Structure 1
Amino acid sequence: MPKLESITQGAVPMVEMWRGDRLESVHQGHAVVMRANGEVVESWGRPEVVIYPRSSCKMVQALPLLESGAGAGLSAKQLALACASHQASALHVGMVTRWLADLGLSDDDLRCGAAPPGDIAERDRLICAHAKPCQSHHECSGKHSGFLTVNAHLRGGPDYVDPDHPVQRAVRDAFEGATGQTSAGYGIDGCSAPNFATELQGLGLAMARFASAREGVGDGRAQAMARLRDAMMAHPDMVAGETKACTNLMRAAEGRAAVKTGAEAVFVAILPEKKLGIALKIIDGGIRASEAAMTGLLRRYGVIAPDHPVILLLLQNPKVLVCYDAEVI
């Protein structure tokens, strides 16, 4: 078996953590800013590094939901939830439950597994009721509700997370089409679904294509991209939740960006006004660094005001130096 290229190769310092006048830690990574024609606008590290996008690519995984026609009647909130890594607040769990009921299904039909809620109020409610979390509490249950919607349309079997299942074949086709690359393979994500590998610049290209898409214009994929992107920006609370970086950054951007984080410090952004896509990966998996790096890039490209409170929220003590901004916050 050929040796895989190390993700550390060519990585550059992207975020430094300072306390007073002393450097405490450094996070290295890779980042790229792309146009839909494949142009690399800026890059740090190696844009050709191969990564698993993890949950940062949920909007790509949701493309078959609209391209197949299965999700034609879904609301914008449901589309945003299909792209979400949510906190399992009552808002999120309630919508998943209703969505499944509309399909004639239940929590038992999900294949994401049960997980404790990130939302404190829902966590406390379960504790007080001596109840266990269910699969609808999993942060990926919105994505899986989308998978089940596609599955009902395709009349597939119940194991829709199998890489050879028609749902996942459709997801892979959409993923490779959006990234412009044949995937190097897949790993099984934390929600049991396959996660397809791509170069970081392939992920950035997909985000640029989402940024350039316009609803009602172009082919079915472009229109699906526009609907999903606009749903995320219209309902940032559905995509993550209160106190979460994705929700706070989209609120701060006020319709100028859709953003999505993924496990192991992957982060992407879609900038419709500028028709740019951004993808970054911090190689140590540090979420605090990926959030800081994306905040710095959104500020760099003018979609968040430099004095917006979210800047202080995500780049607070210890002081953070986002290396491509060359400025200590």
Structure 2
Amino acid sequence: MTQPIPMVEIWRGDLLESQHLGHAVVCDSSGQVVEAWGDDEKVIYPRSSCKMLQALPLVESGAADAFGLTSEQLALSCASHKGAAIHTDRVQVWLNDLGLSVSDFRCGPQKPSDKDAHEALVRAGKQPCQIHNNCSGKHSGFLTLTKHLGAGSEYTQVDHPVQRAARSAFEEMTGEDAEFYGIDGCSAPNFSTSVTGLARAMARMAKPTVKGARAQASERLVNAMRTHPELVAGEGGACTELMRAMNGKVAIKTGAEAVYVAILPEQGLGMALKIADGGTRAAEAAIAGLLVKYGALDANHPMARKRLHGPILNRNGLNTGHMRLSPDFIQL
């Protein structure tokens, strides 16, 4: 079996202190591998990087139109948001429009990662609830589809019609049968695929080769993400900052345990990567490097430099080291 390759290096002074290894694949819209590093057949859980695939049934079933969903709501259905007011206020309106409440969610409560939102809860003496969960937009989409189908309330169960539809779309887009599934942090099932399968799915979203409901759904979801990057993550989030840096030309999405994907409509390419040790800093650097290599991101943009070369500062503000892409991966 092919082993993961060095992708990101951490230097302190003149010593290589740490090294992150991983796998990455770039596919074109025909599903062919354009370039690969490490084990392109490595089977992974894509975690939240596949939310766009999970949202496909929401759109192609007609549920999104039946409930009049906006592009903002479609972006939220693909989001791992920070629980800021711009996210939670919109999720609450969505629930109200469905005639549902926070208790209908099955994602669980989560402390907002947005500092202002967290401090507001503390000052008010309130506890975070399910609406603050970073997946509450995705779950709003699940609830919309549940209501459209007239299905039962336990929509996170693997045999529920919503999850059966999500699995079907996932396997069709990756071109692979999901050998495994695990339960994600938000309690929904997460289906396995190879890194190549995930890149293939992103390429098919970038440039669908067959017209129809799937192609239209893919285009709407990708355009929603590109139009509303602030809803996909939030201020300070890599997805938001890098999409802004690319002027809305590319959609990118992170997943837990250092998975990252990118959808490049102009180039008709899809990218997927997995850092073996689960290090987020390395996943952000690696996806930035791939985006630069394929001409989607300016290497000198501050948001690119932040991920590719960001100095490592200590508590006194002293520059103690730096991060860089491994020469075994990409030489910029």
Could you tell me the TM-score, scaled by structure 1's length? 0.95
2:212 equivalent among 219, 227, 231: 219
Deviation at 1:22, TM superposition (A): 1.4
Q: 1:303 corresponds to which letter in structure 2?
A: A
* Residue number in structure 1 paired with 2:330: 325
Q: How does 1:76-87 map to 2 (within 5 A)?
A: 76-87=71-82
Q: 1:218 corresponds to which letter in structure 2?
A: K
Q: How does 1:47-86 map to 2 (within 5 A)?
A: 47-72=40-65, 73-86=68-81
1:105 equivalent among 82, 100, 107: 100
Cα contact 2:31–2:204 (8 A) shared by 1:
no
Deviation at 1:312, TM superposition (A): 2.1
* Residue number in structure 2 paired with 1:39: 32
**Counterpart Cα distance in 2 of 1:94 and 1:38:** 39
Q: 1:135 corresponds to which letter in structure 2?
A: Q
Deviation at 1:256, TM superposition (A): 2.0
**Counterpart Cα distance in 2 of 1:22 and 1:79:** 46
**Counterpart Cα distance in 1 of 2:208 and 2:212:** 10
For the pair 1:251 / 2:256, whether they are aligned, the reply is: no
Cα contact 2:243–2:252 (8 A) shared by 1:
yes
Deviation at 1:213, TM superposition (A): 3.3
* Residue number in structure 2 paired with 1:291: 284
* Residue number in structure 2 paired with 1:230: 223
Partner SS for 2:190? strand
* Residue number in structure 2 paired with 1:165: 160
* Residue number in structure 1 paired with 2:7: 14
Deviation at 1:39, TM superposition (A): 1.2
Cα contact 2:29–2:208 (8 A) shared by 1:
no
**Counterpart Cα distance in 2 of 1:24 and 1:103:** 52
Q: Which moved more, 1:304-313 or 1:122-131?
A: 304-313
Q: Which moved more, 1:107-116 or 1:296-305?
A: 296-305
Q: 1:326 corresponds to which letter in structure 2?
A: Q
Deviation at 1:154, TM superposition (A): 0.6
Q: 2:325 corresponds to which letter in structure 1?
A: V
* Residue number in structure 2 paired with 1:25: 18
Divergent runs of 4+, >3 A: none
CA RMSD of aligned residues (A): 1.2
1:187 equivalent among 178, 182, 185: 182
* Residue number in structure 2 paired with 1:94: 89
Which digits, 9 at most, give the CA deviation of each residue in 1:261-313, with x for residues without a partner?
00000000001110000000001000000001011111111111121011222
Deviation at 1:325, TM superposition (A): 2.2
Partner SS for 2:248? coil
* Residue number in structure 2 paired with 1:241: 234
Q: Which runs of 5+ in 1 are unaligned?
A: none
Partner SS for 1:62? helix
Between the two proteins, the alignment pairs up a number of residues equal to 318
* Residue number in structure 2 paired with 1:123: 118
* Residue number in structure 1 paired with 2:314: none
